[in-house]
Amino acid sequence: MKPLSLIGALLALSLLQACSLQPPKPWQKGMLARPEMTMGGDALEQRFDEHISASKQAASGGYGVGGGGCGCN
């Protein structure tokens, strides 16, 4: 009886896999890279914010996917 319930649980778990939301693949980010997909509307203001963030945090990036999501640029 026990192995059967274990199998049942495993089967149920494997079915759950289909429910998970898959992040887009690196080559599927065309839609996300569009300017209207960025947070905030004003490009100039965003640039200003990024500059402050970069100088305070010594890190930049993560504002869009135009760089391709490869950690470059």
Q: Which range in 40-48, 50-58, 62-70 contacts other proteins by CB under 8 A?
A: 62-70
- Tally Cβ neighbours within 10 Å of residue 27: 8
Does position 23 interact with other proteins (CB under 8 A)? The reply is no
32 close to 24: Cβ distance less than 8 angstroms: yes
One of 12, 16, 21, 25 touching other proteins (CB under 8 A)? 25
CB contact set of 65 (below 8 Å; sequence gap of 6+): 29, 32, 33
Interaction site with other proteins (CB under 8 A): 3-4, 6-7, 10-11, 14, 17, 25-31, 33-34, 65-73
